[in-house]
């Protein structure tokens, strides 16, 4: 029952590009910063993108973020087998006064 | 090096209480908001609660409001989550996470602990 909707899965061959969408509303994505996380099996989530499109130090520029209106997108180029993980978007919802995460997307490298 | 270490998890009966702690090190604790995020087995991330840098602003997910209480002790570099009236659906791995900003608005959770497992079962 998350307020942010992501596709359950995306896949592509090594070296290709994938995009993951995160759809929300004006009370969350539309008026607040979006961040993106990936979670490798059995590990804690890791921040990939913050403030819509900024990368923390150490995150390669293969990862990019964008936002338009009430949707956000994570792009991964030059896909690697190590990118196989679950990916989540997150933001604040001003109406709920609560943090919200997306439903999660599993990335598979074919 | 930033470290967040959760403790206090375990097996508890429905209706009972548990208190999680998160010991922080490697950064100026009282400069940042902190959050608890949980993940039920095989499920996605769920934000539970957040507290701003000076405890003046606190919020909870509707699913835990009135049962859970977040707090922090800045001199002790520690974050807490008091969980009362626990239910089976509270069973999850509970992560402590540091925000990039001092307020609650999920500006980016840049460091996470390894999690504390809470199992609610009779």
| CB nearest A88 (choices: B45, B60, B104) | B45
What are A33-88's pLDDT values in tens digits? 999 999 999 999 999 999 999 999 999 999 999 999 999 999 999 999 999 999 99
- A59: tokens are 């995150």
Inter-chain CB proximity B110 and A98 less than 8 Å: no
| CB nearest B47 (choices: A33, A44, A99) | A99
* A3-31 mean pLDDT: 96
Question: Which residue in A has a C-alpha nearest to residue B48's C-alpha?
Answer: A99
- DSSP for chain A, please give it: --SBB--SEEEE-TT--EEEEEE--TTTGGGS--EEEEE-TTS--EEEEBTTTB--TT--TTEEEEEETTEEEEEE-S--GGG-EEEEEEEEETTTTEEEEB--EEEEE-
Inter-chain CB proximity B115 and A44 less than 8 Å: yes
What are B28-74's pLDDT values in tens digits? 999 999 999 999 999 999 999 999 999 999 999 999 999 999 999 99
C-alpha dihedral, B109 to B114 to B116 to B119, nearest 10°: 100
């Amino acid at each position: 029952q998350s307020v942010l909707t992501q596709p359950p899965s995306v896949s592509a061959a090594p070296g290709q590009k994938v995009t993951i969408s995160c759809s929300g509303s004006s009370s969350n994505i539309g008026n607040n910063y979006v961040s993106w996380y990936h979670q490798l099996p059995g590990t804690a989530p890791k921040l990939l993108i913050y403030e819509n499109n900024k990368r923390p130090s150490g995150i390669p520029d293969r990862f990019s973020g964008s936002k338009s209106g009430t949707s956000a997108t994570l792009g991964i180029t030059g896909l690697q087998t190590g990118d196989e993980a679950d990916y989540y978007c997150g933001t604040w919802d001003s109406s709920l006064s609560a943090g919200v995460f997306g439903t999660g997307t599993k990335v598979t490298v074919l | 090096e930033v470290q967040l270490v959760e403790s206090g998890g375990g097996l508890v009966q429905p209706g009972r209480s548990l208190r999680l702690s998160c010991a922080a090190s490697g950064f100026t604790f009282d400069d940042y908001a902190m959050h608890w995020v949980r993940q039920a087995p095989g499920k996605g991330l769920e934000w539970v609660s957040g507290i701003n840098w000076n405890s003046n602003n606190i919020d909870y997910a509707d699913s835990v409001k009135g049962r859970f209480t977040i707090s922090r002790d800045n001199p002790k570099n520690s974050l807490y989550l008091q969980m009362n009236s626990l239910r089976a659906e509270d069973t999850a791995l509970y992560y402590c996470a540091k925000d990039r900003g001092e307020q609650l608005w999920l500006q980016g959770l840049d460091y996470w602990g390894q999690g504390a497992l809470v199992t609610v079962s009779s």
